[in-house]
Chain A
Amino acid sequence: MVIRLYWLASRLARGKSGRTPSNSRLRVLLYQMVWVASLAGVCLGDDSAPLHVRVDEAIRAAYDGPMAPRSDDAEFLRRVYLDLTGSIPDVETTRLFLNDPSSDKRQQLIDRLLSSPQYARHMATVFDVMWMERRGGNRVSPDEWRRYLRDAFAKNRPLNELAGEILAADGARRGPRAAARFYLDRDAETNLLTRDVARLFFGKSLQCAQCHDHPLVDAYVQEDYYGLYAFLSRGYLVSDKNLKLDVYAEKADGDVKYQSVFMPEETHETRPHLPGQAPIDEPDLKEDERYEVPPADKVAAVPKYSRRERLGRLIAEGASRDFAENMVNRLWAMMMGRGLVEPVGWHHEDNPPSHPALLTLLTDAFVASRFDVRWFLRELAFSETYQRSSLLPEGVDPQSIPEDRFAVATLKPLTPEQLAWSMMQATGIADTRKVQVAQKFRSEDPRYDDLLNADPPRQTIKATLLDERLYTASKGDIGRFVGLFSGLPGEPEEYQANVQQALFLSNDGKLLGWLSPSHQGGQANLAARLAQLETPAAVAEELYLSILTRHPDNQERALVAELLTDQSPQDRQALLRDLAWALLTSTEFRFNH
């Protein structure tokens, strides 16, 4: 691994000097990076072992208290489905997996899910929520943006490349239009963009540093804020009359000066630089050679040298350790329920990671993999740390284990989208829609359908097309969940239970309608399947497997049997509806455990 890092470092350094004036500081930084990485390798033992093994070693090395055992198959299945596809599995998948005797079925499942269309869809949601934070705005269609992200994750584009494209985007000439949503739907407001780029891409909540060095966090200095600001400050929003689009254009001049509110008499000036790094060198162009398209009324200016393009390129070239570390931490948090640096977005010396060597190890590996998200998530999912149960051994007080030791799986509240998809999956509405979508697809053009059925690569294309249609058919329902369960625009998503949500889950007519028997599209939903089952044991089995993705235990079977004794057909249907509702609204369903 160390060798791969050296290779990367030299490649990056060469890449830099090839295109821009040499940057010795960057090379020093990369050298140091590799040096630290090799030290970490020594500390963490065998560096040829797969990453997931080394993750587990690092977690075990940092804690010697009691740990939860490995999750059982059901717990694992539900968790990995939610984390990698955004929904619980369908009941048939659950049956097959639980009955599968093969010893490597977890690895097989992980690989299957990571290459599914649902993985790309789910990751698009995760990154949409992370980067747009539920903001409205329609300069770039939210659907176009979502499809852009989906496509990126389906192709497993390196994350540095994707982020670089987004950070360089202007909505017209550079990158696809969708990539500019981050800027355009923040109204291209420079301070807001600086803060959000710092926090979401570099893991540094620099907002205080807009007006002065952070009073408590030594590392959050005003100089870094304005270094980043300088990449963006030449940008401006313009409604281009030729393109008929809002564009985040850029001028070729404008320098950044700032004062601290504490020392207003002292003015500082800075060229652009990444947090903690030296200002970049910039080409010195003659006044009359600075523009490809000069600024004019309702015309988006295009400079020959773009600072924003430079920012994007620095990220794409891997020049920022902060970026890599922040992304690693956020992906870790997505899988494990909390960041190694917690809260995410607050990387600084006084808020050290819970496992410093592990964060270094993960970041090195992620960089060395060339920011390969699919590989990285696969390694995390393979780890025993990820696969640990959320259930502690008898006699161990859950509160006695520090949350940041990862000794027991963290309960993760389902995101609004996960909750919506999972409820649709559990009740059968998702399966009904899948059938309807496929039927409609075929009826529209049977020959095209045949063509797509011909071989596995084309089947993958079809699966993606159908999944997009399923998404479109479900958008309204997902929207209702997002409306009630999401955080607020411009705020990091945070779990909060409130009365309005509980009222919705208790009394919403449409939601309760999903619990009535239906056979649409020749597909029986959960209630219809339950109605046809005769023995209470079969009912209990179908209920628990469909909704909670596990078999009922003896007590639960007995309860279902007891409740179903001597019921009239009508009462039986109502009872089954209420039982299903109780499982759907239980904490076990509400959390990814």
Chain B
Amino acid sequence: MKCSYACGTAEHRIARRQFLGTLGAAAGMATGGLGMLTHPATAQHLEKSGKRILMIFMAGGLSQLESWDPKPGTDTGGPFRAIPTSVPGIHISELLPHTARQMHRLAIVRSVNINENEHGKGRYIMETGRRQEPSIDYPRLGSVAAKLLAPEDSPLPGYVHITPGGNGFSKGEAAFLGPKYGAVTLGNGQPPQNSVRPDAIPSEADVRRHQLRQRVSDHFARRRRTAETEAYTYSYEQARQLMAQREVFDVSNEPQKDLDRYGTHDFGRHCLLARRLLEKGITFVKVTHSNYDTHHENFNFHLEQLGEFDRTFATLVEDLADRGMLESTLLMVISEFGRTPRINHQFGRDHWGKAWSVLTGGCGIQPGAVVGKTNDNGTEVVDREVNGGHLFHTYLQAVGIDSHGEYDVGGRPVPLADPETEPIKELLL
């Protein structure tokens, strides 16, 4: 696939001009020089901007009522109270006391309605800004960042996902951007798959075998066309560089006191690893915290899960701010959807995409902002309703990408973000 971001959009811009009625002029231009008419992408500029994204994914569906949009004392509010935060007037659930103290660095969107209650579909909307369509698969935000923000020739992956479970490489997340921009999964924080030299091959032997490989390849390349063979040879070079930089993925290199501050549980270790990766130049880091799918015992589960989340997350936000990284790091805490205001007979809350909240902050985001509102008992959005598309636009704009740009997918222009929606301007700096 060709994917010349923004410069491949020429045809459609012309098409749009025709649509707007300036037919005569456009027709004349349709044959040549279109590339020059459009303003080339700022991709090169962005590559050097050092913008990063941290996504915390609360798998299963975090309850907005036990987090960012509490409704204490109502029929839907549950047992927990709301507490004040570092921003006067903003209250969040008492389950998040540490995060409350970081509120001046964060922002809440309380009016998310994605109109979807299935895990897979909700997650798709939240990570691509679109509903699933049979005819086209859209790249996840992580792959978009890897493509548009990460340095092109880095041996380190642009999109890293830290999650409980196994190691792997989810190239499918990149959709039409190409496998290269897929997610490298660090299962339970382990270094990338196959990044360890096997014990059977000592380091001198490793050097030797690569030299031999190179020698055979050089012999082959003489008197042959080489564009594609070079890409192949280069991939080994990158693999060796990645292996050499493997310590980037090794959280045990972080000071013990930081391990203690983040918490000795998996999520603590994963967030500390996320800090390390962001510091070492990984563009997009996603950390999955599992599991919030609380159809039973919603309150006990949230007490427990958020107990783990709160201090760790707040520590991470504070560290990013202290290290001067927050201005260049966009962060978001999302789920596939929220949870029903109605409490079921097993003290659970069910899937709920209609009126819930997302937390964001850092790069490009108005600190201390609250956007949108739900009604008194949280059953409906009453102000500034947004969906996954608005959020996706906003994330892109926040890191300096024109979210109204287009990809060229095999000659067809595909908008970066859902053209039916717009960035949430009041959330952006």
Looking across the interface, which residue of chain A has its beta carbon closest to that of B238?
A: A499
Give the chain B neighbours of A501 by CB distance below 8 A.
235
Partner among A390, A503, A508, A583 whose Cβ is within 8 Å of the Cβ of B224 = A390
Of the candidate stretches B113-121, B170-178, B378-386, the one touching chain A is: B170-178
User: Does A591 reach chain B (CB closer than 8 Å)?
Assistant: yes
Tell me how far the C-beta of B22 lies from the nearest C-beta in chain A, rounded to whole angstroms.
Answer: 12
Whole-angstrom CA separation of A590 from B234 in the bound complex: 13
Looking across the interface, which residue of chain A has its beta carbon closest to that of B410?
A: A205
Q: How large, as a class, is the contact surface on chain B?
A: 35 or more
Per-residue interface assignment for chain B, residues 287 to 301, with 1 indicating a CB less than 8 Å from any chain A CB and 0 otherwise: 000000000000000
Contact A499 B175 (CB under 8 A): no
Tell me how far the C-beta of B186 lies from the nearest C-beta in chain A, rounded to whole angstroms.
Answer: 13
User: Does A494 reach chain B (CB closer than 8 Å)?
Assistant: yes
Contact A262 B233 (CB under 8 A): no
Q: How many residues of A contact B (CB 8 A)?
A: 65
Give the chain A neighbours of B215 by CB distance below 8 A.
559, 582
User: Does A191 reach chain B (CB closer than 8 Å)?
Assistant: yes
Looking across the interface, which residue of chain A has its beta carbon closest to that of B181?
A: A498
Whole-angstrom CA separation of A591 from B232 in the bound complex: 10
Whole-angstrom CA separation of A566 from B93 in the bound complex: 73
Contact A215 B155 (CB under 8 A): no
Looking across the interface, which residue of chain A has its beta carbon closest to that of B2?
A: A343
Q: A503-B195, A574-B205 are in contact. Are A586 and B220 (CB under 8 A)?
A: yes
Tell me how far the C-beta of B375 lies from the nearest C-beta in chain A, rounded to whole angstroms.
Answer: 37
User: Does A130 reach chain B (CB closer than 8 Å)?
Assistant: no
Tell me how far the C-beta of A402 lies from the nearest C-beta in chain B, rounded to whole angstroms.
Answer: 11
Give the chain B neighbours of A413 by CB distance below 8 A.
228, 232
Contact A507 B197 (CB under 8 A): yes
Contact B137 A497 (CB under 8 A): no
Contact A582 B209 (CB under 8 A): yes
Per-residue interface assignment for chain A, residues 461 to 501, with 1 indicating a CB less than 8 Å from any chain B CB and 0 otherwise: 00000000000000000000000100111111011111111
User: Does A399 reach chain B (CB closer than 8 Å)?
Assistant: yes
Give the chain B neighbours of A583 by CB distance below 8 A.
216
Whole-angstrom CA separation of A377 from B223 in the bound complex: 28
Contact A186 B232 (CB under 8 A): no
Whole-angstrom CA separation of A487 from B410 in the bound complex: 14
Among B136, B155, B179, B229, max chain A CB count under 10 A is at B179
Q: A216-B11, A398-B224 are in contact. Are A205 and B169 (CB under 8 A)?
A: no
Looking across the interface, which residue of chain B has its beta carbon closest to that of A555?
A: B219
Tell me how far the C-beta of B31 lies from the nearest C-beta in chain A, rounded to whole angstroms.
Answer: 8
Q: A192-B134, A399-B225, A496-B180 are in contact. Are A508 and B194 (CB under 8 A)?
A: yes
Q: A215-B14, A500-B193, A591-B229 are in contact. Are A586 and B179 (CB under 8 A)?
A: no
Q: A215-B15, A583-B216 are in contact. Are A591 and B137 (CB under 8 A)?
A: no
User: Does A549 reach chain B (CB closer than 8 Å)?
Assistant: no
CB contacts under 8 Å to B, within A184-211, are 186-187, 189, 191-192, 195, 205, 207-208
Contact A588 B171 (CB under 8 A): no
Contact A498 B11 (CB under 8 A): no
Contact A496 B178 (CB under 8 A): yes
Per-residue interface assignment for chain A, residues 556 to 593, with 1 indicating a CB less than 8 Å from any chain B CB and 0 otherwise: 10010000000000000010001101110111101101
Whole-angstrom CA separation of A582 from B208 in the bound complex: 9
Give the chain A neighbours of B220 by CB distance below 8 A.
586-588, 593
Give the chain B neighbours of A261 by CB distance below 8 A.
19
Contact A503 B213 (CB under 8 A): no
Per-residue interface assignment for chain A, residues 383 to 411, with 1 indicating a CB less than 8 Å from any chain B CB and 0 otherwise: 00000001110101011000100001011
Give the chain B neighbours of A559 by CB distance below 8 A.
215
Give the chain B neighbours of A191 by CB distance below 8 A.
135
Whole-angstrom CA separation of A413 from B233 in the bound complex: 13
Per-residue interface assignment for chain B, residues 176 to 194, with 1 indicating a CB less than 8 Å from any chain A CB and 0 otherwise: 1011101010000000111
Give the chain A neighbours of B171 by CB distance below 8 A.
488, 500
Looking across the interface, which residue of chain B has its beta carbon closest to that of A500?
A: B169
Give the chain A neighbours of B194 by CB distance below 8 A.
500, 503-504, 506-508
Tell me how far the C-beta of B168 lies from the nearest C-beta in chain A, rounded to whole angstroms.
Answer: 9
CB contacts under 8 Å to A, within B236-265, are 236, 238-240, 242-243
Contact B225 A195 (CB under 8 A): no
Per-residue interface assignment for chain B, residues 201 to 234, with 1 indicating a CB less than 8 Å from any chain A CB and 0 otherwise: 1000100111011011101110111101101111
Whole-angstrom CA separation of A408 from B192 in the bound complex: 40
Contact B212 A205 (CB under 8 A): no
Looking across the interface, which residue of chain A has its beta carbon closest to that of B13?
A: A215
Looking across the interface, which residue of chain A has its beta carbon closest to that of B221?
A: A587
Whole-angstrom CA separation of A212 from B212 in the bound complex: 55
User: Does A109 reach chain B (CB closer than 8 Å)?
Assistant: no
Partner among A507, A574, A579 whose Cβ is within 8 Å of the Cβ of B212 = A579
Contact B172 A489 (CB under 8 A): yes
Partner among B134, B192, B200, B233 whose Cβ is within 8 Å of the Cβ of A187 = B134
Tell me how far the C-beta of A199 lies from the nearest C-beta in chain B, rounded to whole angstroms.
Answer: 9
Looking across the interface, which residue of chain A has its beta carbon closest to that of B175?
A: A488
Contact B205 A502 (CB under 8 A): no
Contact B169 A490 (CB under 8 A): no
A-B contact pairs, 24 of them (CB 8 A): A189-B134, A189-B135, A195-B135, A208-B11, A208-B411, A215-B18, A391-B224, A398-B225, A488-B172, A488-B175, A488-B176, A489-B172, A492-B410, A494-B1, A497-B231, A500-B179, A500-B184, A502-B236, A507-B195, A578-B212, A582-B209, A582-B216, A587-B220, A590-B232
- Apart from A503-B193, A587-B232: 7 A-B pairs, beta carbons within 8 A: A408-B225, A488-B171, A492-B1, A498-B179, A500-B192, A503-B195, A585-B236
Which residues of B are interface residues toward A (Cβ below 8 A)?
A: 1, 11-12, 14-15, 18-19, 30, 134-137, 155, 157, 169, 171-172, 174-176, 178-180, 182, 184, 192-198, 200-201, 205, 208-210, 212-213, 215-217, 219-221, 223-226, 228-229, 231-236, 238-240, 242-243, 410-412
- Closest 10 A-B residue pairs measured CB to CB? A582-B212, A502-B239, A586-B216, A503-B194, A189-B134, A578-B209, A192-B135, A588-B220, A497-B235, A502-B235
